[in-house]
Amino acid sequence: MNPRGDRRPRVVVGVGGGIAAYKSCEVIRRLADADVTVVPTEAALKFVGQATFEALSGNPVHSGVFTDVPAVNHVRTGQQADLVVIAPATADLMARAAAGRADDLLTSTLLVTRAPVIFAPAMHTEMWTHPATQANVATLRSRGAIVIPPAVGRLTGPDSGPGRLPEPEHIVELALTVLNRPDALPYDLAGRRVVITAGGTREELDPVRFLGNRSSGRQGFALALVAAARGAEVTLIAANVALPTPPGVRLVPVTDARSLQAAVVAEAATADVVVMAAAVADFRPANRQESKIKKVGDLEPDALALVRNPDILAGLVADRRGAVPLIVGFAAETGDENADVMTYAREKLRRKGCDLLVVNRVDGGRAFEVADNAAVILDSDGGATDVPFGPKTLLAAALWDAVAARGTGGPG
Ligand code: CTP
């Protein structure tokens, strides 16, 4: 599976000259399993010292083309890379890259390399939204570079808005995805409005107790991270998830099945794709108590009465008018003595009437609370795509491939 055999992947981390340069240290740290060469610009070295980059990467660090000349670094660094990650990518650095300049070691490396390149932008909102920067981003994307949307939040000084460096963990998740599959992040979902549910609903018994499940929300968040990197406009409806919001993603927090349903129905009205990755409780307590349920002497508690929750996915399918949105369901399945997991999954796809069904194999407690997932993507057209055991972002990429291939959903 690994095209490099046992060799460690060679990753160039390019660091632009912005205050977010200090966060590149965390990116380098999280890439510890790779052979990392750090190439800062001269300006980046005003924010973080060469010694820090050398200590974190274990490799020598140069920024100009006139040091260590016999090693021909301005060519070798780019030739030998399996991946180049630019974090932070400043407006100036992207302008120089878009123009094809080669006036320092980093831009020379970008011109030489044929490896995938990921730009993680960081700059003030005005600089990000300026037509010059947007044109440079479009140019870089048209040449196959991956430009992650910046995060929204606090910037240098008192300002706040889009332009924050995406979290190092998101940058590294995308980097590892591309190392696994260089074509995992095409810019093919631009203009598509995607709604994703994630996490697990909590159905309250009283003000302090709830019925919940073990869903961490990781799969839904990975879907959102990858969709936004592929250009989609992403709304992530998250039930009780303790994970950072991926860059370029609008988060709608919800708690129980009914609040999740209300959010999904509202968002689905204008969506091209709805992905139901959340673990929705099938039942809720029939009577939520207004105050904490008390122990009464030594008496056994009353039996808990439950009622059915709405089947949100089935409701979406039933209410769908015409061809959109494309509806994707998730199913956690095991086989049993009567039938295997795929038989149950095909049956569920038919029953739910969605366009695509992602079948997680949960035998042995897999899929919950772990970073890796194995699955099959079933298409109502009859197709099936096997996604081998691997990071949840790779399953996400495979699902977006299937969505991009399908176009719209439904019988229309
Ligand atoms: N789902 C939903 N509303 C519910 C329960 C589930 O929208 N009340 C969605 C989930 O988000 C998922 C899909 O339905 O996309 C399948 O969920 P799962 O619990 O595996 O399937 P069920 O149809 O509930 O089947 P069963 O519990 O019998 O396995």
What CATH number corresponds to the domain at position 170? 3.40.50.1950
Q: Same domain for 283 and 158?
A: no
**Whose CA is closest to atom 18 on ligand 1?**
331
Report the alpha-carbon distance of residue 167 to residue 183 in Å, rounded: 22
pLDDT at 28: 98
Q: Indicate whether 50 and 103 sit together in one domain.
A: yes
Spatial CA neighbour of 29 closest among 222, 172, 174: 172
202, 173: one domain: no
Phi, psi (degrees; rounded to nearest 5) at 7: -65, 140
DSSP reduced 3-state for 374:
strand
Residue 73 falls in the annotated catalytic set: no
Kindly give the number of the ligand 1 atom that is closest to the alpha carbon of 197: 11
The total of structural domains in the chain comes to 2
Residues 212 and 174 in one domain: no
Q: Residues near ligand 1 with C-beta < 6 Å?
A: 257, 276, 278, 280, 282, 309, 311-313, 329-332
Query: Of all protein residues, whose CA lies closest to atom 28 belonging to ligand 1?
Result: 348
Residue owning the nearest CA to atom 17 of ligand 1 = 331
Which one is catalytic: 2, 136, 180, 213?
213
Helix, strand and coil percent figures for the chain, each rounded to 5: 35, 25, 40
106 and 44 in a common domain: yes
- 347 Cα–ligand 1 center, Å: 13
| Residue to probe by mutation, ligand 1, list 275, 280, 312, most atoms within 8 Å of CB | 280
Q: Are 329 and 345 in contact (CB under 8 A)?
A: no
Distance CA 175, CA 101 (A): 24
Q: How far is CA 95 from CA 16, 137, 252, in A?
A: 12, 8, 34
Please give the distance, rounded to the nearest whole angstrom, from the Cα atom of residue 280 to the centre of ligand 1.
7
Distance 130 CA to ligand 1 centre (A): 44
* Ligand 1 atom closest to the CA of 352, numbered from 1: 23
Asked if the structure places residue 412 within a domain, the reply is no
Q: Which token pair is 325?
A: 């949105």
Same domain for 176 and 201, yes or no, is: no
List CB contacts of 6: < 8 A, sequence separation 6 or more. Answer: none
Q: Report pLDDT for 288.
A: 95
| pLDDT digit string (tens) for the chain, length 412 residues | 466 878 999 999 999 999 999 999 999 999 999 999 999 999 999 999 999 999 999 999 999 988 888 888 889 999 999 999 999 999 999 999 999 999 999 999 999 999 999 999 999 999 999 999 999 999 999 999 999 999 998 888 888 899 999 999 999 999 999 999 999 999 999 999 999 999 999 999 999 999 999 999 999 999 999 999 999 999 999 999 999 999 999 999 999 999 999 999 999 999 999 999 999 999 999 999 999 999 999 999 889 999 999 999 999 999 987 778 999 999 888 888 999 888 888 998 999 899 999 998 776 555 555 556 679 999 999 999 999 888 999 999 999 999 999 876 665 4
pLDDT of residue 69: 83
Does 261 share its domain with 399?
yes
Residues 172 and 273 in one domain: no
Measuring from atom 3 of ligand 1, which residue has the nearest CA? 311
pLDDT at 318: 94
Give the residue from 47, 36, 49, 148 showing the smallest Cα distance to 89.
148
pTM over 0.85: yes
Do 170 and 225 touch, CB atoms closer than 8 A? yes
The sign of the dihedral angle between the CA atoms of 303, 307, 311, 312 is: negative
- Cα dihedral 216→218→220→224 (10° resolution): 140
Which of 130, 145, 180 is at the close of a domain?
Answer: 180
Residue 261, CA distances (Å) to 185, 210, 268, 269, 348 in order: 30, 18, 10, 13, 20
pLDDT attached to residue 412: 43
pLDDT of residue 372: 62
Please check whether residues 159 and 216 belong to one and the same domain.
Answer: no
CATH of the domain at 310: 3.40.50.10300
- Residue whose C-alpha is closest to residue 57's, from 82, 25, 88: 25
Residue 5 has a pLDDT of 78
Two structure tokens written together for 268: 């689905």
**Tokens 């973080």 appear where?**
48
Domain around 324:
193-406
Give the tokens for residue 233.
Answer: 């406009």
Cα–Cα dist 317/308, whole Å: 18
3-state secondary structure of 88: strand
Q: Which atom of ligand 1 is nearest to the CA of 329?
A: 15
Q: Is the separation of the CB atoms in 362 and 375 below 8 Å?
A: no
199 and 240 Cβ atoms separated by less than 8 Å: yes
Ligand 1, atom 9: nearest CA belongs to which residue? 313
Q: Which of these, 187, 155, 189, 185, lies nearest to 171 by C-alpha position?
A: 185
Task: Say if residue 212 is in the same domain as residue 89.
Answer: no
Tell me how far apart the alpha carbons of residues 116 and 178 are, in angstroms, rounded to a whole number: 8
Task: Indicate the residue among 180, 210, 240 that finishes a domain.
Answer: 180
As a whole number of Å, the end-to-end CA separation of the chain is 38
